[in-house]
Every structure is written in structure tokens, then in C-alpha cells.
Structure 1
């Protein structure tokens, strides 16, 4: 490989951070790096990300760290490019240009300063690993979802050869041929893995990631060892270091002052455990007809609700919905989810069941109504509904007025079922808190990561 990096002899550690700048991937990696930067003040962390993603993160962070610097990179879209309308076209263009995009950005920002380590989102392993090897420094790969989702990616070839493609008729079969996955089902697997069309950019990146991870100096996971000890042991046997250091979302952080829509003040005026909170993350949302059906169910149920919904989707709500429900409902384009889920007025979380959302719901001891949309949502939903038993899956997998109303009734009117869910969440919550607390598994793994990052001779 041609020599692309000419570094000086400085011994001050300089860590390059390469997030995947789409959906909600960049923020958790930034959270981890902020904590590393706080603990390792003599190490400089350079965070290379799309401008829009950097802006959304900085708007939520209030602590100014002199050794954590953000740099904007190109989105990889050629000048005067005309989009064809193909799915994930922007991601595909970004991924194609990414190796050169990051190299140029790093050279411009860092110059000849000695780089001591490269941390990347696992989805960018296909070039980050080689970049680190070219620099002769450790590469650390970061996985944002739970450990069980990484397990499926690590066994993509085995899954496809064992169950066959397509999977029609086998959705309810157990994944007991994978370590630690017997309680999950074939139908829960990420659709990219079991699709006959294996050409989506993220699917390709995840497949290549699984092949590259054994080369990483450490694989860092936003999870905790006690979640699934069998999978933890498996990864420890396969990777040089497997460091579960999460869940990040429950780690201490600066209080948010970004409740510009007055959600918390509104919740203060509601009865305890009475409000349905609905939110579906930053990436994909349910189809328009499902959004309308959810609105109809919220109206028919009579339940007070707080709904975080993209402004562009307000137009699909039933005519007159906002006017008819204004006395007991609040619709906003964005809401401070972490603070909302620990508010005593919230009684249920209607969610896509992303990993961070599931963890945040556990921390607030708020039962979930799950409508998985894509990626790891289906595995997380199985964990929530069948393993942890702290929520319900929406009937038929899609929002309908009647099915959603029945789910709301189960949570709000079946006191016995509700009490059991809250008790179970209390136990799970304590396990998570113990993991990130003094002497906990995640805390000890974080110390190991900090030592690796801070090693001037790395």
C-alpha cells in the first residue's frame, strides 16, 4: 500500500474518530468519545463527520472539551449530481467516496501530527482497518446496537446457508444454531441479512465489518456483558478484545436544556403514569396510513399523549385531529426523549424499538408498545416482548386503529400485566446500573479501553 501519511515524532496521542454519519449512529460514538476525552485530557480526539450530523450533536452537548474537536467532511455527492431516486442513494455515494474523503479531511486537519489510534463505526471497517494498518496504529471498532445484533452479522453466511433464502414459512423457527440466540426467531433477523438482494450499501458494509473485526485491537459494544453471557464469551474467543462498555444512554451526562417545545412542562401537568409517549427515531417512520391509524387510536382511547413526529408527516394526520385532541394531547417535531421517559407522568412508550430507546424506556420503567421498522428493531422487539417481557408488539406488525387501541388498553387498564412489566424493568434496570457503576463489567471494560487509547506508544 502506498505511503499516504507522513507523521512527525510527537508523542502526544492523537486519536482519529470516524463515525457513520447517517441515522442515529454518530451521536452514541460521540458520547463515548466525550467520556474518553474527559478522562484522558492529554489525548486529542478529532471527530470527522458530516456537517449536519455534527450540528445536531453539538446542539445537544453543553460541555466544551478542548481536546475533542469536530471536523466536517464531504458527503461524497459529486457536483451537479442528479439523484435517480434509488433507495439509499446518498449512503451509496458517501460509502463509495468515504476512503478518500476521510483521508483528505484528516490530512487537512491533522497535518503531520502523529496519529496514535483510529476509532471507527463498525460499518466503516472496510477502509478504517486498512487506514490504521497503513498508519501502523491500533484500530478500534465500535458497534452501536446490542451484542445480539452483532452476533447475527457475525454469522451471516451460516444464517443464509442454514435457513435458505428467502425465508418464507420459517419465520417462527428458533435461532438456536447461533450462540446465545435460542430465544430469538428467524423472522427477527435483520432483513438485509436474509434478503435475496444483498446489494444495499449498509448490508455490504455490515457483512465486510463482520469479516474485519478480528483484526481490530478492540471491538467496543454499546451493551453490557450480563445481557447475554453466552454471546459475550463467544466474542471474547473471537476478537482480540471484546469490550462491552454500555449502555451509553444511562451514563451520567450534562442536563439537557433543549426542551424548546415545552414537553416537560406539559408533562408536569399530567397525572402519574397516564401519558402515552410516541416517537420513532430520526431515520425511518411508519407508513402514512399507519401514522393516521395511530392518531385514530390515540383519539379513540382517550389517553393523554405526547407525540414526537417529524413536521413533514403532520399532513397525513386525520382531518381535525389536532383540534379535537388539543385538550389532552401535544404534538411536537422533536422531544427530549431521555428526560421524557424518566418523567413520572409517562405510562407507555410507543416506539420503533431502537436499542437506545429500549434502554431508555427500561431506565424510566415505562412499558413499551413496539412497532419495529428496520435493521435491529425486530431483534430488540423480541428481547423486549418475549425475553424481558416488558412490552407488547403491535398486532400484525403494523399500526391499525383497533390493534393499537387494544395495546394501549393492555398497558393502561390491565393493572396486573402492567405491574409485572414494571417489576421486571426494575430488575433489568438494576443490572444495567450495576454494569456501569464502580467495579461493574462495563466500567472495568471502559478502563481497559482508556488504557488502550492513552498508550503513547500505541
Structure 2
């Protein structure tokens, strides 16, 4: 910032507004990213604006203020909630920014938004500041969105055929099939407000001053190189799992003490994300029957409303625990856990890599299909259930593969190599421990030129 701008800001440091997308894991991942920035820049102030109640177990630095700017949507993560949010997001974020500026006495210096926040670019322009966006998933999902128009040109009738065609015309995506793409690109209701938001994002990402991603370059080398040529600045700042502070939520269900009693690398941990279980009742039954027949110890994080679909007597006679919530990072890091049965969310995938626990993936929506494809066909650290649905026999085969066969040992070996690359990437970068790695406009004319600086950081 210029000297004149600093004086108009009361002589204080930069003020960064962060706009969160309030569904699934988005707000918590963005808050972890904000925490990293705030720790690296103690003189900057971050106003984290989260629609609804953004309750988090994360500890945040004193220079992060969390504003719950709206609580008008129904509970849940359905598309109706998303549509309602998109109708009012500009109004609620505009009001939230006004409140944050008034309370802190600091004008905005920069605006950071989740890539799914449709009005991020517009609001940055209204405030005359640089726009930075944060993409919560991996580079493969990012690439699929950036290339939306090209993919649509080639696969206009994907819903009626061609699902197994590969994206070999996109760098680094030769093993990704049309069926692996997130809905809203060529499949699903392309006329929905959500699909329109995704398409708008695909057209605006290259206009952002910088795009941050919760990944590291070595995980997607070809894709990352290509994205760097398509965007003004792509910054890999992950995996954030290595810099997320310990959870402050107690292990109230005794998951860790129970794991202490199990043999090393024998337990199957099952979790389908932080929201309500998307798994259909018939698949919950098939998964339960596979666990029962395999006689494996297991820890299953499953909401109470979904437990009613489990076979009668399963919970009482099970060789494991069924709990409504488990401290996932701590569980995966426990030596007793040998395999992770997951929906394939990107955060869960990174957490599994960090703990070197092979994956069995049952994807449901969003980026989960493309993450599962990378797990199975590119990184070779796990398997996607056959046909994308749980059946008793296939699940048993997957469990045996992960825990008893040579394939499982190969997966663990590959995970160890990926984890080492991730740690090396963090050590050699300025994120998140380098206290100089805060991004904000160097001078007021840099805002007009849409340029950005990383103070004392050669990567920018």
C-alpha cells in the first residue's frame, strides 16, 4: 500500500475481506487458508464473512474476525439452499463488508472469495481492490472447470453416450473420463442456477489477480503447469492438513481409546463427509454386510438418522463402533487404521495421504468422481468401488485388497512417496510458516494494473 493509502487507513495494516461459500466443507477449508494467511501477516486484519453460522473448532489468530453475516437459509446442503443463497449473496456480503469496515476503521485492501462465490469479482471491483480467489479442490477439478467450454464442444451429448471418453486433449487429464467430471460441466441440469454459477466461475478465474489452491505442484505436475499458463497467477498452498491446528472438539465418543485397543493397520474407518450421509439405504446395508462378513474391526462415522437403515442387530453385534462423529484427522493418524472408506472429498483425500492410509472411494457428487479417478488411476493409492456403488462382494474384495494383498502395500508405498513430496513442497515454499508470505497490493496503482505482490517471496 502507498503511504497516502496507509494514512487514510488510520496508519493500520491491510484489511482483507474473505467471502465464504457456506456449504459442505467450503467454509472450514477457507477458514484454514485464512488462518494461514493471518498467521503469516500479523499486521493485516482479516474479516471472514460466512453466511449462516460458521462454527468451527479451528483456533484462529487474533487478527481474524469471523462475521456470521446471514442466517436465512434452511438447514441442509440441498440445491434449493444454494439457489436461495445465490439470490441474496451480493446483498449480504455487501452489508457484511460495510459492517467490517465500520467496526475496524480500516478500508479494504484486498478481497478474497471462495471460487464458488459468484459475486467475488464484482464486489472487488465495487471496492476498488484486487480480487483473489480460493479454489477448495484439486488441480484436476480446477482444470475441468477452466476447460468447461471446450469440453462442452467435444461432448455435447455426454448424457447419451461417450461417458468413457477421456480428456486426452487437456494436459494431464488423459486418464480422466467424461463420467469423472463434476456435474454442471456436461452432465446434470446445465440450466440450473448452480450450473450457471460454475460456468461463470470457469469464465472469470483467469481474471483473478491470483488463484490459490489447496494442493501442491508435484501432485498434479502437468495440470499445474497448464493452469499456470491459463491463469494470471496460480499458487499452490497445500496441503493445508499439515498446517491445520489441532481440533478443539473433544473425542466425546471414545474413538481414540477404542483404537488404542486394536492391532496396527487392521481397522477400516468409514466416513462420508461432515454433512448428512448421501449413501442410499441399500448401499449402507451392503457396506454393513461386507464389514460383518469380513469380521474386520471398524470405526464408522454415521449420523444417527442414517443408522436406522443398518441391518437389524448390526450395531449391537458389530466388531466395531458406529458413532455420529469422529475426529477424522486424529483417527486417520492412528496406527490402528488400515483403510479409509470415503466419499472422495478432496480434504479427506489429502488427510488420507497425510496419514498414509489407502482409500476405498464411493463418490457421490461434485469433485468426488474426479478425485476418485486420481486416487485409483493416477496416484494409485486406492480403489473406486465397482460401478460407483457399494455391493457386499465388491466391498469385501476392496477391503481384502487394501488390508491383505500386495496391492494394498503398493498403495501405502505410493502414499508415503506423495506425502514426502508434499512435505518437501511445504518446506521449500513460503507457506504457511514464512511470516512474510502475505499477499496484498504493493501500491495503489497495482490495484488498477491488477498486479499482486508476495512480500519477500520469490514465488510471486
By how many angstroms is 1:132 displaced?
0.8
Partner of 2:176: 184
Aligned partners of 1:160 and 1:444: how far apart in 2? 36
Mapped contact 2:130–2:441 kept (Cα < 8 A):
no
Deviation string for 1:253-273 (max 9, x for gaps)? Answer: 235452121111110000001
Corresponding residue of 1:450: 437
Q: How does 1:76-115 map to 2 (within 5 A)?
A: 76-77=72-73, 88-111=79-102, 113-115=106-108
Q: Which residue of the partner structure matches residue 261 of structure 1?
A: 253
Task: Trace 1:21-170 onto structure 2 (pairs within 5 A).
Answer: 21-52=22-53, 54-55=54-55, 57=56, 60-61=57-58, 63-77=59-73, 88-111=79-102, 113-124=106-117, 126-170=118-162
Match of 2:367 in 1: 376
Counterpart-to-counterpart distance in 2, 1:213 and 1:130: 13
Q: Provide the rounded CA distance (Å) in 2 between the counterparts of 1:226 and 1:15.
A: 29
Is the Cα–Cα contact under 8 Å of residues 165 and 196 in structure 1 kept in the other structure?
no
User: Cα offset for 1:449?
Assistant: 9.1
**Consecutive unaligned residues in structure 1, runs of 5 or more:** 1-6
- In structure 2, how many angstroms separate the alpha carbons of the residues matched to 1:119 and 1:258? 31
Task: Identify the match of residue 269 of structure 2 among 270, 277, 290.
Answer: 277
- Of residues 138-147 and 445-454 in structure 1, the stretch that sits farther from structure 2 once superposed is 445-454
* Cα gap change, 1:221 to 1:135, in 2 (>3 Å): same
Question: What are the residue-to-residue correspondences of 1:39-438 with 2, within 5 Å?
Answer: 39-52=40-53, 54-55=54-55, 57=56, 60-61=57-58, 63-77=59-73, 88-111=79-102, 113-124=106-117, 126-195=118-187, 197-251=189-243, 253-254=245-246, 256-283=248-275, 285-325=278-318, 328-414=319-405, 416-437=406-427
Render the CA deviation track for 1:147-192: whole Å, top value 9, x for unaligned: 1101000111111110222343322222101122112111111122
Question: Where does the alignment leave 5 or more consecutive residues of structure 2 unmatched?
Answer: 1-6, 448-460
Q: How far does residue 446 in structure 1 lie from its aligned partner after superposition?
A: 8.7
Counterpart-to-counterpart distance in 2, 1:350 and 1:281: 11
TM-score (normalised: structure 2): 0.89
SS of match in other structure, 2:344: coil
- Give the deviation of 1:359 after TM superposition: 1.3
Contact residue 266 and residue 336 of structure 2 kept, 8 A: yes
* Cα distance in structure 2, aligned partners of 1:316 and 1:87: 21
1:229: Cα distance to partner? 2.3
Deviation at 1:115, TM superposition (A): 0.7
| C-alpha distance 75-160 of structure 1, shift in aligned 2 (>3 A) | farther
User: CA offset at residue 113 of structure 1?
Assistant: 2.9
**Alpha-carbon distance in structure 1 between the residues aligned to 2:60 and 2:37:** 14
Structure 1 counterpart of 2:10 = 10
Tell me, in whole angstroms, the C-alpha distance in 2 between the residues paired with 1:259 and 1:410. 30
- Give the equivalent residue in structure 2 for 1:3: none
Name the CA shift for 1:51/1:74 in 2 (closer, same or farther; >3 Å). closer
Pick closer, same or farther for the CA change 1:151–1:11 going to 2, 3 Å: farther
Larger deviation: 339-348 or 176-185? 176-185
CA RMSD of aligned residues (A): 2.3
Shift of residue 450, structure 1, vs aligned partner: 3.2
> In the TM superposition, what is the alpha-carbon distance from 1:9 to its structure 2 partner?
4.0
> For the structure 1 residues 371 and 64, does the alpha-carbon distance in structure 2 shift closer, same or farther, using more than 3 Å as the test?
closer
Question: Aligned pair in 2 of structure 1 residues 32, 196: CA closer, same or farther (>3 Å)?
Answer: closer
Deviations along 1:414-434, whole A, 9 cap, x unmatched? 2x2221111111111111111
What do residues 110-160 of structure 1 show as CA deviations (whole Å, max 9, x unaligned)?
Answer: 226311110000011x31111111211111000000011010001111111
The answer as to whether partners of 2:167 and 2:176 remain within 8 angstroms in 1 is yes
